[in-house]
Amino acid sequence: MSDASTLAPGGTREQILAVARGLIETRSYLGFSFQDVANAVGVRKASLYHHFPTKEALGIAVIQGATQGFKDWVAARAREPKDALESYFRMYRNTLKAGAGLCPAGALAPGWDCINEELRQAVQTLRNTQVMWLTGVLGALVPAQAQKDNPVASLAAFVFSSCQGALVASRMTGRVEDFDDAIAQLRRALPVD
């Protein structure tokens, strides 16, 4: 991953979180160990337990950080609904590194039966936070008649799922263009004004 000299500034806890998030996004939750994190941060494995008593506690902190990061992203951007939706697609493409990484919540799905309930709840909270926000955005964009045929909450879940799937597909190929193609199809499928 990286060595201690190239880590982002911050205390040891912040460095651990940043490394763990990077590993989750690129290897999945099941694809790294506490030792991998310790090696990347440049501390002994035993030192990680001072900050996080279990790998699950570390995973929960990463997902809660991602949820707060999304809330901060929303709060920092006052924009028209159409621009908000386009910004959401760009956030997935650029911040979540389409073609090279996965959403930290989506990266936990393959091991769903192997993670504890508290970690599952953290993932569901991140998903629900995004779907609720998308519901508001799409509610302002989708004509009333189209909402009768396809409730906005269902469309929001569809957009979220499509973005997650586009990330997975582009990760498989290593091509950001595959993400772009999927999102172009998604745009065409949405009944927005």
User: Assign residue 45 a region: left if phi > 0, alpha if psi is -120 to 50, beta otherwise?
Assistant: alpha
- Going by C-alpha positions, the residue among 23, 11, 77 that lies closest to residue 50 is 11
Report the pLDDT value the prediction gives residue 7, as an integer from 0 to 100. Answer: 53
**Residue 71 pLDDT exceeds 80:** yes
Which residues, other chains included, contact 10 with Cβ-Cβ below 8 Å and sequence gap of 6+?
A: 18
DSSP state of 72: H
Confidence of residue 82 (pLDDT cuts 50, 70, 90): very high
pTM (predicted TM-score): 0.90
Work out how many domains the chain is built from and give that number.
Answer: 1
Q: Is the dihedral of CA 162, 164, 170, 172 positive or negative?
A: negative
Q: Tell me the pLDDT of the chain averaged across its residues.
A: 92
Q: What length is written for the chain?
A: 193
Beta-carbon-side half-sphere exposure of residue 13 (alpha carbons within 13 Å): 7
CATH label of the domain that carries residue 37: 1.10.357.10
| pLDDT given at position 9 | 59
What pLDDT does 144 receive?
82
Q: Domain range holding 118?
A: 4-189
